[in-house]
Structure 1
Amino acid sequence: MATWNLFLTIMAVSMTTSGWSVYGLSMQYYSMACPFAEQIVRDTVNRALRSDPTLAAGLIRMHFHDCFIQGCDASVLIDSTKDNVAEKDSPANLSLRGYEVIDDAKDQLESQCPGVVSCADIVAIAATTAVSFAGGPYYDIPKGRKDGRISKIQDTINLPSPTLNSSELIKMFDQHGFTAQEMVALSGAHTPGVARCSSFKHRLSNFDSTHDVDPAIDTQFLKTLSKTCSGGDNKNKTFDTTRNDFDNDYFNQLQMKAGVLFSDQTLLASPRTRKIVNGYAFNQAMFFMDFQRAMFKMGLLDVKEGSKGEVRADCSKIN
């Protein structure tokens, strides 16, 4: 694993400085066929975020939910048909937001460079733009992903559940090649977002055979969560105190036993991840550095190339 991480670090630098490619991707992939592709996506995303800063969390989450299922191939954007229920309609994806931003960028690109820029690349670029807009680290990513042709709701069972403990999270992320530290760094993407009550209400009553409520919740924070859920399953609670900012406050909240999801707070409870949480809470720069490396790596998951994928004319439909 250490060798793989070193490879990614060297490759990221090399791709940025010399245009190297990996898995058919490169930083300059569209330089000839659609030279303004990335700028169009970034301008579209920034315009949308200026109008609604809360979309940043949705666009970051969309990229994660895309890459963890079938790889980074925009399968999460495909609509269901009468013959197939797609990922988009999974309960795990019903809270995703920002589809209209992706569609807006795609429409502009199709008018300028028809059939060139993939939806998968648009999702990936949108996520990096959202991180930067919200105050997180700016980082570049290679382009050239192709769009997938498969999207099935049953595959979303492989998305991390908010009820998983740290050991289960480590195992799930390890199956995708991520270390425990990378898992914690990626979990920090929650910092600008919100969680629905339906994702954490199990912590508030009948928690387990010996506890009515999750003992890992601070007493005062428990009251806050309970008040939120009194409004129904769809009521939202911010992950930290700076909803629209990408910072390390998420980790500060974990230290105060004020993690919203069980899967959040378990990162502090486990000896395997506690030091990482404390490190990121103390040093935001370290969190930013590790986060951008982990996101770069995530963007390479099971990318499609050549005949294994396509460039969709409409992001919601297979060609």
Structure 2
Amino acid sequence: MKEFPPSKIVIVSRESRLAMWQAEHVRDRIQALYPQCSISILGTTTRGDQILDRTLSKVGGKGLFVKELEVAMAEGRADLAVHCLKDMPMELPEGFELAVIMEREDPRDAFVSNDYASLDALPAGAVVGTSSLRRQAMIAARYPHLVVKPLRGNLDTRLSKLDRGDYAAIILAVAGLNRLGLKQRIRFYLEPEQSLPSPGQGTLAIEIPAGREELRRFLAPLHDEAAAVASAAERSVSRIFGASCQIPLAAYATVDGARVRLRAMIATPDGSRSAAAEAEGSADAPEALGEQVAALLKAKDADAILAACKAQADAESS
């Protein structure tokens, strides 16, 4: 039996300002629960931070932000890692597990611009920046007169690109802006009906080495069951479609007591084809609800849309 509660904890984190905020937030939450515990943060750079000239869908997807953190845990240099759940692969490598799903922040997308009040206000030909094929598909479908261009880099870098005039507007996650005290940059909130969020958007997750039961017990007070139920339903849909950064897929669940409502959408990157579905189910079986919604999507030709997405991705990479 390992020491409980542990006297020392090391959190490994990416070094971006948002990632460090997340690690510090978890550190402070743990410290409040266990004042005698010594907690430090180990900063590291991931491949996802280093490759900024290509979209994630073209360089390996979400796992680019995770691998180096897992290596630090596997080598015993760190005990846990804090992630944005939406950046986590659907299947974790052997030897790791998600121990905690924390309370969800605002899951919506934000319209950010220095000159325009909303997407509706943008003139024809205006350039909108986004790192997400999901957001790209939404904009292309609803605003075909706009030009969507890739937007990479950390949050501060993305905002600086907007401020120097590279884009008329950019779309970001509300949660990240809120966490860094940048709420004032938001000109317009995109409701789920306008831009259905990504699975896990706004939710922090804590990853640990598998089998560390004493660590899981140590972190248990940070777990939020409603957020865990919602994310399980959302990620269930995503997992069925093998979702990655190459697939414009959205899934958003809301929990009301013992019931869960799940909405999901899959589209081609150009927004020309899409399928949407929703259903309600028991909070005791969120994965089953995800499977139900996935089946509804398949009944609306989601598999054909998925094949078109993969064909486009293959063509662009060849």
TM-score computed with the length of structure 1 as normaliser: 0.25
Structure (1 or 2) with the greater strand fraction: 2
Structure (1 or 2) with the greater helix fraction: 1
